[in-house]
Structure 1
Amino acid sequence: MSAKSAQTSRPLSPFMLGPYYKPQLTSMLSITHRLTGVALSVGTIFLVAWLMAAAAGEQSYAAFSECASAWYGQIILIGFTWALSFHLCNGLRHLWWDLGRGFDLKTVYATGYAVVIVSIVLTASVWLVACCL
């Protein structure tokens, strides 16, 4: 077998999902962590728009509030809340790893599932409190 044919039959990266690499919890959490970081950056634009509307006066704030309270605004806000919760929980998990702890496979998966569950519970809790106020 030539070196050229051996190179073309192997995947280029272990992160090539699909036929070469089976998605695992760890890889999916890593990708989701990056995506939530991007979502938080984009969601910050929504937050800045809210502050600008509040500073622009009552009419601008009313228009923004109408969009934010519409179904699509609620989806954006819930998604932003979940992205923040997930990114926070997974960031704490990474800080734990920075201390050199939690690298055994059982703990990696347990903390991975905990990140997903806690982020959902945090999001639901924030929205339950917000709806009750």
Structure 2
Amino acid sequence: MAETRQAERPLSPHLQIYRFTITMAMSIIHRITGAGLYVGTLLLAAWLLSVAMGPDAYASFQSVAGSWIGQLILFGFTWALIHHLFSGIRYLMWDNIRAFDNRTADIISWIAAVAAFAAAIIVWIVAFKLRGVL
């Protein structure tokens, strides 16, 4: 029997083969923000429970949410919500067979990423203005 020699190569596609692109990053971030929204929903439920439990519970929640770490977490929740929305719109475009070529997909991905961050900042600026902080 003749011995056959196979070329040494990966058995499946590997990170060495793929070039990391913005569409890959957006897909990963979309999944992460989706999971983060579950945690944010728990925060929202905790806020509603503290309102229902009375002024002392609400004051305790407000002291945590009003701290710098609480504000950072709430900003992250806001960004995750808006980013997931814009990324979902991008996926809806793809479902309708639009923006499928590489260049347009990259442009739409960059627009969604930048717009989500800008929109989250705008939401917080408006919220601070309404509260009279700014």
TM-score, normalization: structure 1? 0.88
The question of whether the paired residues in 2 share the 8 Å contact of 1:40 and 1:84 is answered with yes
Cα shift at 1:105: 1.3
Shift of 1:23: 1.7
Aligned mates of 2:5, 2:72 — CA distance in 1: 54
Count of matched residue pairs: 127
Of the three residues 108, 128, 131, the one matched with 2:128 is 131
SS of residue paired to 1:47? helix
State the alpha-carbon separation in 1 of the partners of residues 90 and 67 from structure 2: 34
Matches within 5 A, 1:25-104: 25-104=22-101
- String of CA shifts for 1:68-97, please: whole Å, max 9, x gaps: 000110111000000011100010011111
Match of 1:114 in 2: 111
Question: Residues 71, 11 of structure 1: CA spacing in aligned structure 2 closer, same or farther, 3 A cutoff?
Answer: farther
- How far does the alpha carbon of each residue in 1:23-48 deviate from its partner, in whole angstroms, 9 at most, with x for none? 21111110000000000111111111
**SS of 1:102 mapped into structure 2:** coil
Mapped partners of 1:109, 1:98: distance in 2:
16
Mark the structure with the bigger radius of gyration: 2
SS at match of 1:113: helix
2:12 equivalent in structure 1:
12
Question: In 1, distance between residues paired with 2:12 and 2:99?
Answer: 29
Give the superposition deviation at 1:20.
Answer: 4.5
For structure 1, the 5+ residue unaligned runs are none
Structure 2 SS opposite 1:10? coil
Q: What residue ranges of structure 2 are gaps of 5+ in the alignment?
A: none
